[in-house]
Structure 1
Amino acid sequence: MDSVECPRGCREPSNTKEDTVKDDFTPSKIGTKDYWDDAYQRELQTFKDIGDVGEIWFGEESMARVLRWMERERIPENAAILDIGTGNGVLLVELAKSGYTNLTGIDYSAASVELARSILQTENISNVEVKEVDFLNCPGELSCFDLCIDKGTFDAISLNPDNTEEGKACYVQALRGVLKEDGLFVITTCNWTKEQLLQMFCQGFGFVNELPTPRFQFGGKTGNSVTAIILKRLH
């Protein structure tokens, strides 16, 4: 499996308290649906040809990090879990292999959904639902999840050249709509720091925890190239 520690086009945040919610990166085609339709169509064809599942955003360790947290927190195996922007569905595969039984993955790319379903079928995993859904435009279509996981989708939305601020606001609203009260949200990002995320998700969410991620030093400062935090939906 290929892996990428940071999706192409993202920046490396400094994770300093001085960071604000202001964008300091350039919008990119990576934030467009056309880009992902083309990318997953290529990955789907590659999977059909040679069985390669394609890229894993942030690498396999990013999945292991979330799974270790779920085990520590004793997330029930029957918890309703939503993978937002499932891509190739590899996270769903790992969750199912870890014993979780109530799994749903969504993506707005039809090719992504077909790829994820194909990979799940190859792994003989049949109790996972994968839907073609635009998370920013699905009022009432999804609800009552105990846990939502995002590994790069909010990053892509943040890079959309059109209506970036509207997209981020719609994301926060959609997340509130799909999570139960006291439901948990795990986000892994290379665009945003902890402080920035807390600002953007301040309406209706509370901070729970930050997961350890790789650290780097540059110019006498220490930071993280990836941020992973847990939020809770407030009443």
Structure 2
Amino acid sequence: MADTRPTPTESVTPSTASAYLNPSYWDERFSKEEKYEWFKDYSHFRHIIQPHLTPNSSVLELGCGNSQMCDGLYKDGTTNITCIDLSHVAVNNMRNRLLSQGFKDIKVMQADMLELPFDDECFDLVIEKGTMDVLFVDSGDPWNPKPETMSKVMSTLKGVHRVLKEDGIFISITFGQPHFRRPIFNAPDFTWSVEWTTFGETFHYFVYVLKKGQRSSYEDIQPVKRFEVPTFNLLHEELESEDFTFLINVDELNS
């Protein structure tokens, strides 16, 4: 597998995590960086995503950046894809790259995930990979995040819930552990059920599958259903990469 990370001379890692909240940081980064995959590439999630898709599924990717996830979805037969990003640089680069490969059906647009510009119930699946984690970089106490952080998180989730069809699915791939994310996903505003799994061995990422309209009345107090997926070895260099420095609440990792 080709290395998708920038060379040391092209490093785009910010000096502080709070820089991830600055839109100008992303514009500058995407002007230098051709591609980068947070939390591994599509091949590692294909077995989780594909059971929830058909060739006619409409898919929204939040914070596409310069990821090639939409390429993989398209090659697997899902062509009704919309990618959004806050960075106009990322959007322009993504459009040019997709057109150069003949992926003319994929729509790419500049948009804010806090204010999704789409009609109600128009997507079968919404997916994000590391995008929501940006909202938590200065959240403070992980057990009691700052009000401004929660306001942004809830705006995002309410928007996702709104644009999902009645039986739509939201897939969130994240560093966020269940004891922090479950209370948010299980807020009374939402009707989705929550399933989660991990991948990795020494170190874990978390994948949440939220199914709209399938939440039971007692789910917020019952253990969340888990399902198993194959694991892979996490290389030492992965722990030293930007993905690891991006980890939110690292002190809670082994709690």
Q: What residue in structure 2 maps to residue 166 of structure 1? A: 151
CA, structure 1 residues 140+124, in 2 after alignment: closer, same or farther (shift >3 Å)?
Answer: closer
Q: Which of the pair has the greater relative contact order for Cα pairs under 8 Å at 6+ separation?
A: 1
* 3-state secondary structure, aligned to 1:77: coil
CA, structure 1 residues 197+138, in 2 after alignment: closer, same or farther (shift >3 Å)?
Answer: same
Q: State the 1:225 CA deviation.
A: 2.9
Separation (CA, whole Å) in 2 of partners of 1:148 and 1:66: 14
Q: Is the 8 A contact 2:115 2:156 kept in 1?
A: no
Give the TM-score of the pair, scaled to structure 1: 0.74
- Could you report, residue by residue, the CA deviation over 1:23-79 in whole angstroms, capped at 9, with x for unpaired residues? xxx961112222212211222xxxxxxxxx32111122xx223321233x2521110
* 3-state secondary structure, aligned to 1:28: helix
Q: What residue in structure 2 maps to residue 201 of structure 1? A: 185
Q: Is the 8 A contact 2:198 2:204 kept in 1?
A: no
Q: Does 2:172 match 1:182?
A: no
Separation (CA, whole Å) in 1 of partners of 2:169 and 2:43: 18
Separation (CA, whole Å) in 2 of partners of 1:104 and 1:142: 15
Which blocks of at least 5 consecutive residues in structure 1 are unaligned? Answer: 10-25, 44-52, 217-223
AA matched with 2:26: W
AA matched with 1:232: K
Q: Is the 8 A contact 2:58 2:81 kept in 1?
A: yes
Q: Is the 8 A contact 1:145 1:183 kept in 2?
A: yes
Q: Does 2:10 match 1:29?
A: no
CA, structure 1 residues 142+107, in 2 after alignment: closer, same or farther (shift >3 Å)?
Answer: farther
Percent of pairs with identical residues: 26
Which blocks of at least 5 consecutive residues in structure 2 are unaligned? Answer: 7-12, 140-145, 215-255
Q: Does 2:38 match 1:57?
A: yes
Q: Is the 8 A contact 2:130 2:174 kept in 1?
A: yes
Q: Does 2:7 match 1:2?
A: no
Give the TM-score of the pair, scaled to structure 2: 0.69
Runs of 4+ in 1 over 6 A off after TM superposition: none
AA matched with 1:176: H
Separation (CA, whole Å) in 2 of partners of 1:141 and 1:206: 19
Q: Is the 8 A contact 1:205 1:234 kept in 2?
A: yes
Within a 5 Å distance, the mapping from 1:1-235 to structure 2 comes to: 1-3=3-5, 28-43=18-33, 53-60=34-41, 63-71=42-50, 73=51, 75-138=53-116, 140=118, 143-159=121-137, 163-190=148-175, 192-203=176-187, 204-216=190-202, 224-234=203-213
Q: Is the 8 A contact 1:158 1:167 kept in 2?
A: no
AA matched with 1:188: I
Q: State the 1:164 CA deviation.
A: 1.7
CA, structure 1 residues 141+89, in 2 after alignment: closer, same or farther (shift >3 Å)?
Answer: farther
Separation (CA, whole Å) in 2 of partners of 1:37 and 1:160: 20
What do you get for the CA RMSD once the two structures are aligned? 2.6
